[in-house]
Amino acid sequence: MTYPFLRTALSLAAGVALSLAAISPSQAAAKIQHLTSPGGIEAWFVQDATVPLIAMEYSFGGGAAQDPKDKPGTANLVADLLDEGSGDLDSKTFHERLDRRAIELSFSAGRDTFRGSLRMLRDNKDEAFDLLRTALTAPRFDTVDVERIRSQVIAGLRRDTTNPTSLASRKFLEVAYGDHPYGRPTNGTLESVPTITVPDLKEYVRRVIAKDTLKIAVVGDVDPATLGKLLDQTFGSLPAKASLTAVPDIEAAKPPQRALVPLDVPQTVITFGGPGVKRSDPTFMAAYVVNHILGGGGLSSRLYREVREKRGLAYSVFESLLWMEHSALFIGNTGTRADRAGETLDAVEKEVRRIAEEGPTQKELDEAKSYLKGSQMLALDTSSKLAQALLQYQQDKLPIDYIEKRNAIVDAVTMDDAKQAAKRLWGQGLLTVVVGRTPQAAAQPAAAPAPKSN
């Protein structure tokens, strides 16, 4: 955990400077190096001296999918505690060291990866990397800190029991994945989090934090030789191999299905989705483009126009692709008045059916491709964003020159590709979770559209 009120002033200067460290994708593509340290630690690296800052993103395989079956939330608790003291530094002293040098250090647990982020001024790199080293190799897990963070997590879980969006997301994953690790909440449950012990936390670190699954992306003002030494000093003493439990591949439950979570709130929340397309699938980009047309394009998407603009049923509606190592989903969300939930659901299902049967128009396809190509500039316009993207590309097993190739891949999506992707994604209908006062909205799932003859 961090102490925002202590760190705001010191972090502000670094944050402002980092936001000015703009690197265009074309520049980045030409500069990306595959660096290997003297000790064999590999990283994707962009050397940039625009401002005296360094941003590093890194991950270890495993994530929340490695939580013990009866103790979901273990990885999340580890992530919240790794910066709460290490070695001979207690939590207060550790954070004072971070604050004094405006070092930003954080950890998070995804479903498949345990991630970390480190940002610092160039002149503070030695201390920043050393603090990260001790956090990874000698976390304290002092009882007072564990119980403080545990209490915060439990408080959040209690709030979630009355938050319709949280309840809808949690129920959706249960419906989609059942007892698979992807069906369990990454932040745990009110039953599991109190049972997680310090030995559980240490065992998770022992099994997951290892060099063989380590991926690193660094962008900033540091030369390759210096960075190689820092990487060896930071990660070199980690165990050579992780001890991960095998996670099976799984496809989300087949639509149509519908579930209701009763909750006495003014606004009904609807989460909808179904089986998606994995990142390694050759048709992924076609699915990505057509998904932008249906629900990923903000104010320009079909769902937004039909549900918000034409009918005034909801303030917002969105839908996106979610891919993981062992599965993939498309998932969307909207909220509406309780008495209009059925009408809203009908409007969503109508648009999903229409694009599954007809595909997009040529104009929609051209505009989506143009937007997705242009928006990449904004997605990679700072050192920190670029480092995050380079790490994600590694996790997705994409080539190091993907930034250069991406727009051509988008351009190559044809109308036939888009129509086939739309039929594959939405041709079966929807998995739907309704949270609110509207039992009639959950009475019957929508039938899949009838196949059209050619």
Domain ranges of the chain: 4-235, 257-442
Q: How far apart are the C-alpha atoms of 37 and 28, rounded to whole Å?
A: 21
How confident is the prediction for the chain on average, in pLDDT? 90
Residue written as tokens 């044809």? 414
> How far, in Å, are 27, 79, 112, 284 from residue 100 at the CA level?
33, 22, 33, 45
Under 8 Å between Cβ of 271 and 318: no
pLDDT given at position 8: 32
**Positions of the chain with pLDDT lower than 70, given as ranges:** 1-30, 438-454
Radius of gyration over alpha carbons of the chain, in Å?
23
Dihedral through CA 63, CA 67, CA 73, CA 76, nearest 10? -30
On whether the pTM is more than 0.85, the answer is: yes
> Do 4-235 and 257-442 agree at the fold level?
yes
**Structure-token pair, residue 263:** 């909750």
pLDDT for residue 309? 82
Distance between CA atoms of 422 and 419, rounded to whole angstroms?
A: 5
CATH label, 257-442, candidates 1.10.150.120, 1.10.1610.10, 3.30.70.1020, 3.30.830.10: 3.30.830.10
Q: How far apart are alpha carbons 84 and 238 in whole angstroms?
A: 19
Fold of 4-235: Cytochrome Bc1 Complex; Chain A, domain 1 (3.30.830)
Per the DSSP assignment, residues forming a β-bridge with 258 are 432
Q: List C-alpha distances in Å: 61 to 66, 87, 233, 244, 435.
A: 9, 24, 21, 8, 33
